[in-house]
Amino acid sequence: MIQVDNDIIDILKAEWDILVILDGCRYDVFEQVYIDQLNTGGKLKKAKTFSSGTQEWMCNNFYNKDCSNIIYLDPIIMFNVFIPDDTFFKTIMVWDTDWDYDYGTILPSKMTDVALEQIRQHPKKQFIIHYHQPHPPYLLKEYLGIDKINTPSTIMNNVNGNRFSFFYQGCMRKFFGYSRTWKWLMRLGVEPCDYYGKIYKKYGHDGLVRGYRKNLELVLYEINRLIDVCDGKIVVTSDHSHNLNGDLRGLKDQFVPWLEIT
């Protein structure tokens, strides 16, 4: 479910041929950059997903639902942990075939390449194309090496593991907010263990904003390639918002975009 303006709708019943999911995309930043990046303006509306993360969003929208006509292009390694494997007509595990080991993610250009090939093979199907951007890691060369590069295996180990430092710092961030936690850790000489904290330590809050905007610009540029080949309707939205200030409280109430392109 998603609330678009004042209407709560089932995204599976909404009118679209291609549903583009931008992972962790804020409405306010999207509104600032999308006109300069897309070849067409479309009709932009504010929306709420009622989800604070991808897992919650997927369960809310697809679990025990009829998705038999949908091909889902997946950058999320834990996808089959969230919902059953046979939920969609076809699930393309792009992370398994096109992982970028320099940045530790699926580059938006690779996701588009796979999407265009699937659209060519299955012209009668609906598509959900789930880009990992603007979610980090941020695709700026100067940010390479700021943290360990994720691989599919290390991500699964992180999910299945129980590392005390991540748990402890995660609790601090939850109760005190990101920025305050990072400042305290640095004063104590403790290295932030999360990606955001390491960027904050080196580049400050402006560095987080710059990386986020760059990711969003790159993924929006790729959507132009979908627009060029799609004769139907494209909707661009997000699974959840993302708080650049690092405060987890109230995250479900933040707005995401709902852009309709015909």
Confidence at 175, pLDDT banded by 50, 70, 90: low
Asked, for residue 169, whether it belongs to a domain, the answer is: no
CATH of the domain at 116: 3.40.720.10
- Of 49, 99, 109, nearest to 75 by C-alpha is 99
Domain count, the chain: 1
What is this structure's pTM? 0.87
Cα–Cα separations (whole angstroms), residue 121 to 68, 73, 118, 222: 16, 14, 5, 20
Residue 128: pLDDT over 70: yes
Asked, for residue 171, whether it belongs to a domain, the answer is: no
Please report, for the chain, how many H helices and E strands are present, in that order: 9, 9
Asked, for residue 178, whether it belongs to a domain, the answer is: no
Asked, for residue 38, whether it belongs to a domain, the answer is: yes
Asked, for residue 89, whether it belongs to a domain, the answer is: yes
Asked, for residue 63, whether it belongs to a domain, the answer is: yes
pLDDT at 148: 80
Asked, for residue 225, whether it belongs to a domain, the answer is: yes
pLDDT at 248: 46
Confidence at 186, pLDDT banded by 50, 70, 90: low
pLDDT at 145: 87
Contact 45, 4 (CB under 8 A): yes
Mean pLDDT value of segment 147-166:
63
Number of neighbours of residue 88 by Cβ within 10 angstroms: 21
pLDDT at 164: 44
Residue 207: pLDDT over 50: yes
Which residue segment(s) compose the domain that 136 sits in? Answer: 2-161+209-261
State the Cα–Cα distance between residues 18 and 232, nearest whole angstrom: 8
How open is the CA angle 33-104-176, to the nearest 5 degrees?
Answer: 70
Q: What is the pLDDT of residues 19-59, one digit of tens each?
A: 999 999 999 999 999 999 998 878 999 999 988 888 889 98
Q: What is the pLDDT of residues 57-82, one digit of tens each?
A: 998 999 899 999 999 998 876 666 67
Asked, for residue 57, whether it belongs to a domain, the answer is: yes
Residue 177: pLDDT over 80: no
